[in-house]
Chains A and B, each alone.
Chain A
């Protein structure tokens, strides 16, 4: 029985809980390539039909996909990304970029992304919405956010690793790591 990841106050864990497992992410990858139908997912992923059916059902329940009727006899459904699902694109493109950089087996990227707006092949970058500069782990401070609960069950509490407010002491593990 898989233990639920989403118990602690962490949006990464909650996202991971919705995504479920690696198959779910590969289904979403295929959706972003325009795959919609069960048989097409099955051909692409070479996964057991019951596993595929289970993962598609979970993604529909989570609100990431919608299941739409497209044919009467026999009844057939297709699976489409919702807005919540399309908003996973940054997650997938970040995973893609990491795989391209570290795991391409020296063959180069299997798939490149072409940005139709500017006409470049692109690498996704994470930037700050305010100043448009790249954001790395070394130039952020981890702070308690508005959704951090007052009481957290034992082990999952990590308030001591966070700054109580922006600019206050704490929340800089990278500084600590450099010093030690």
Chain B
């Protein structure tokens, strides 16, 4: 069953989910970061049916997250690579992976990321672009921005 579209909600979280909210899409993006480019390899790794994978790849290409490029003419074969918009999903995947490492990896993280510039296993944290301090839900407040058309943040909810 096709879920309701979020396209009409003026909320950047909903709009992101409209593009990648079906979780197979996010796992396709994850695999693209790991260097997977070809249909058969996506299919083998994800174990989903070819037509579902086709739909998801086409959806991500239509939203500009992946670019589909011809790499062989006879027979015609395509590969899928992340665009700049797709690579910008890196923080989303990083945040999901770290949360999964913390709460859903009883044997320890399946994967480590090593930060090349400092050589340490990169335990990534989310920080404030203004002061560099770590962000938590307790020390931020959502305030209406220039594109708020729907009263997303009713006044009563902005203070807790």
Contacts and interface: CB of A to CB of B under 8 A. Distances in A.
Interface of A: 3, 5-19, 21-23, 25-26, 29, 32-35, 47, 63, 81, 84, 86-105, 107-133, 135-137, 139-149, 154-156, 158, 161-163, 166-167, 171, 173-174, 176-177
B115 A140 contact: yes
Contacts of A29: 11, 13
Contact of A21 (B3, B45, B130, B136): B3
B62 interface: no
Interface residues of B, number: 101
Interface of B: 3-4, 6, 10-19, 21-24, 26-27, 30, 33-37, 44-48, 64, 81, 85, 87-133, 135-150, 152-153, 156-157, 160
By DSSP majority rule, is chain A's interface helix, strand, loop, or mixed?
mixed
A122 B124 contact: no
Nearest to A10: B110
B65 to A, nearest CB: 9
A26 B45 CA distance: 28
Nearest to A33: B157
Tell me which of A10, A63, A93, A166 has the highest count of chain B C-beta atoms within 10 A of its own C-beta. A10
Given A126-B124, A128-B123, A147-B109, A15 B104 contact: yes
6 contacts: A63-B103, A93-B135, A102-B64, A103-B19, A107-B147, A144-B111
Contacts of B16: 95-96, 98-99, 103
B127 A125 contact: yes
Mostly, the B contact residues are mixed
B154 to A, nearest CB: 8
A86 B152 contact: no
A166 B115 CA distance: 9
B105 A115 contact: no
Given A133-B115, A143-B113, 18 more contacts: A7-B47, A10-B30, A10-B100, A11-B111, A15-B97, A22-B17, A105-B147, A108-B146, A111-B148, A114-B140, A120-B130, A123-B129, A125-B127, A126-B90, A127-B127, A130-B122, A147-B105, A173-B33
